[in-house]
Amino acid sequence: MRGTGANTSGHAVVIGASIAGLSAARVLSDFFSEVTVYERDELPSAPANRATVPQDRHLHMLMARGAIEFESLFPGLLKDMVAAGVPILENRPDCIHLGAAGHVLGTGQTLRDEFTAYVPSRPHLEWQLRRRILDLDTVEIVRGSVREPRFDAARQRVTGVLLDSGDAVDTDLVVDAAGRGTRLPVWLTQWGFQRPAEQTIDIGINYATLQLRIPDGLIAEKVVVAGASHDKSLGLGMLCYEDGTWVLTTFGVADVKPPRAFPEMLALATELLPTHLSDAVTQAEPLCDTAFHAFPASKWRRYDKLDRFPAGIIPLGDAVASFNPTFGQGMTMTSLQAGHLRRALQSANGLGPDLARLLNRATAKSTYPVWTMNAIGDVAFHHAGADSMPWWWRPSGSLFDQFLGAAETEPVLAEWFLRRFSLLDSLYMVPPPRIIGRAVVHNLRLWTKEWSRERRAAKARAVTAR
Of residues 454 and 101, more confidently modeled: 101
Domain ranges (residues) in the chain: 11-87+119-196+300-376, 434-466
- Assign 3-class secondary structure to the chain: CCCCCCCCCCEEEEECCCHHHHHHHHHHCCCCCEEEEEECCCCCCCCCCCCCCHHHHCCCCECHHHHHHHHHHCCCHHHHHHHCCCCEECCCHHHEEEEECCEEECCCCCCCCCCCEECCCHHHHHHHHHHHHHCCCCEEEEECCEEEEEEECCCCEEEEEEECCCCEEECCEEEECCHHHCCHHHHHHHCCCCCCCEEEEEEEEEEEEEEEECCCCCCCCCEEEECCCCCCCEEEEEEECCCCCEEEEEEECCCCCCCCCHHHHHHHHHHHCCHHHHHHHHCCEECCCCEEEEEEEEEEECHHHCCCCCECEEECHHHCEECCHHHCCHHHHHHHHHHHHHHHHHHCCCCCHHHHHHHHHHHHHHHHHHHHHHHHHHHHHCCCEECCCCCCHHHHHHHHHHHHHHHCCCHHHHHHHHHHHCCCCCCCCCCCHHHHHHHHHHHHHHHHHHHHHHHHHHHHHHHHHC
In this predicted model, what pLDDT tens digit does every residue of 340-383 receive, in sequence order?
Answer: 999 999 998 778 889 999 999 999 999 999 999 999 999 999 98
* CA 342/CA 26 separation, integer angstroms: 10
In this predicted model, what pLDDT tens digit does every residue of 174-219 receive, in sequence order?
Answer: 999 999 999 999 999 999 999 999 999 999 999 999 999 999 999 9
In this predicted model, what pLDDT tens digit does every residue of 132-182 receive, in sequence order?
Answer: 999 999 999 999 999 999 999 999 999 999 999 999 999 999 999 999 999
- Phi and psi of 45, rounded to 5°? -85, -5
Give the number of other CB atoms < 10 A from CB of residue 251: 26
Mean per-residue pLDDT for 421-437? 91
Mean per-residue pLDDT for 101-105? 88
Q: Are strands 88-89 and 223-226 parallel, antiparallel or unpaired?
A: unpaired
Q: For the chain, give the mean pLDDT.
A: 90
**What pLDDT band is residue 28 in, cutting at 50, 70 and 90?**
very high
| pLDDT reported for residue 8 | 64
Residue 389, sorted as left (phi over 0), alpha (psi -120 to 50) or beta, turns out to be beta
| pLDDT reported for residue 442 | 83
**What pLDDT band is residue 457 in, cutting at 50, 70 and 90?**
confident
What one-letter code names the amino acid at 434? R
Query: Could you say which architecture CATH assigns to the domain 11-87+119-196+300-376?
Result: 3-Layer(bba) Sandwich (3.50)
Is a pLDDT exceeding 50 seen at residue 1? Answer: no
Answer yes or no: are the C-beta atoms of 150 and 160 closer than 8 Å: yes
| pLDDT reported for residue 112 | 65
Q: At what angle do helices 433-465 and 411-421 cross, to 10 degrees?
A: 140
Mean per-residue pLDDT for 292-315? 96
Of residues 38 and 55, more confidently modeled: 38
In this predicted model, what pLDDT tens digit does every residue of 392-412 receive, in sequence order?
Answer: 998 999 998 999 999 888 888
| pLDDT reported for residue 200 | 95
| pLDDT reported for residue 455 | 75
| pLDDT reported for residue 75 | 96
| pLDDT reported for residue 92 | 65
Answer yes or no: are the C-beta atoms of 322 and 298 closer than 8 Å: yes
Is a pLDDT exceeding 70 seen at residue 5? Answer: no
Cβ neighbors of 431 (< 8 A, separation 6 or more) are: 403, 416, 439
Please give the share of the chain, as a percent, with pLDDT higher than 90. Answer: 68
Is a pLDDT exceeding 60 seen at residue 6? Answer: no
| pLDDT reported for residue 296 | 94
Mean per-residue pLDDT for 228-255? 93
Is a pLDDT exceeding 70 seen at residue 307? Answer: yes
* CA 177/CA 53 separation, integer angstroms: 13
* CA 251/CA 255 separation, integer angstroms: 10
Contacts 24+ apart (CB under 8 A), 372-379: 373/428, 373/429, 374/201, 374/298, 374/323, 374/324, 374/327, 374/329, 375/201, 375/298, 376/400, 377/101, 377/324, 377/327, 378/201, 378/203, 378/253, 378/298, 378/324, 379/201
| pLDDT reported for residue 3 | 42
Planar angle of CA 295, 394, 321, nearest 5 degrees: 35
Q: Which of 4-13, 159-168, 410-419, 424-433 has the lowest mean pLDDT?
A: 4-13
Is a pLDDT exceeding 80 seen at residue 41? Answer: yes
